[in-house]
Structure 1
Amino acid sequence: MPLLRGFLTLLLFLILGEAMRLLFLLPISGGIIGMLLLTFWAMVSGGISEDLALASQKLIAILILLIMPGVVGVFFLGGHFDGQWLAITLALLAGTFLSVLTTLLILRVQVRPDQEASHD
């Protein structure tokens, strides 16, 4: 039952994000808005519930299956990107760099100096 509650929580925030996107005509994906709402909710409530953590861990385990449809779509729509490969490549490289940099900065904030010293 905890797994189902976690999935329902994720679904609720996805639906809330999609509703906000439609209501305010935002040019951002409803999923992104929903995950931002979930992040703010976790910050206000003091953390993530065990149900949500369990559901998230199960989804991370099958992450490649969630990404695959987008990759296949890009493969079959390659003709639409003629003449734009340089811009796409630069956007992918910049996005990857910013993702890694953001992850590094968040990790540095989350890992306290006393935790780093205990591993040495």
Structure 2
Amino acid sequence: MPILIGFLWLIGYWLIGEVFVHFTGLPVSSGVVGMLLLSVTLTIRGRVPNSIAAAAQPLIALLAMLIMPGVVGVFFILDELAGQWPAILFALILGTLLSVTTTLWLLKRLMGKHYAR
């Protein structure tokens, strides 16, 4: 039952992201918006409920499989990306650095008191 409740949380935040993107017209994935809102909620609460953790664990194991279709799709539009490689490389490097920095900051903030030396 906790897994079902966790999936409902995840789907609920995805739907909130969908509504937000629909009404604002932002060119951002609704899943990204929903997960950002979920991250903000969990940061404010200061913990991750067991139900969300139980639902997220199997999804993390499948993460590579969930990303694969988008990666494969890039090979079909290589001609359209021909002149944009410097911008793509810059975005990949900057995005990776920001992602790692944000993850480490959030991990330190949420778990810092438990693992402080």
> d(CA) in 1 for partners of 2:54 and 2:114?
28
Matched residue SS, 2:56? helix
Matched residue SS, 1:32? helix
2:35 paired residue number: 35
The verdict on how the C-alpha distance between 1:20 and 1:94 changes in structure 2, with shifts beyond 3 A counting, is: same
Deviation of residue 11 (structure 1)? Answer: 0.8
More relative contact order in 1 or in 2 (CA 8 Å, sep 6+)? 2
Q: Please, what TM-score do these two structures have when normalized by structure 2?
A: 0.84
Unpaired runs of 5+ residues, structure 2, are none
Matched, 1:76 2:79: no
2:19 paired residue number: 19
Q: Which has the larger radius of gyration?
A: 1
Q: Please, what TM-score do these two structures have when normalized by structure 1?
A: 0.83
> d(CA) in 2 for partners of 1:13 and 1:113?
28
Q: Which amino acid letter does the alignment assign opposite residue 109 of structure 2?
A: V
Q: How many residues align?
A: 117
**Identical-pair percentage:** 45
The verdict on how the C-alpha distance between 1:91 and 1:17 changes in structure 2, with shifts beyond 3 A counting, is: same
Matched residue SS, 2:92? helix
Residue by residue over 1:62-117, the C-alpha shift from the partner in whole angstroms, topping out at 9 and shown as x without a partner, is 10011101101112211110111111112111111222222232333344377243
Unpaired runs of 5+ residues, structure 1, are none
> d(CA) in 1 for partners of 2:89 and 2:67?
18
2:112 paired residue number: 112
Matched residue SS, 2:79? helix
Matched residue SS, 1:48? coil
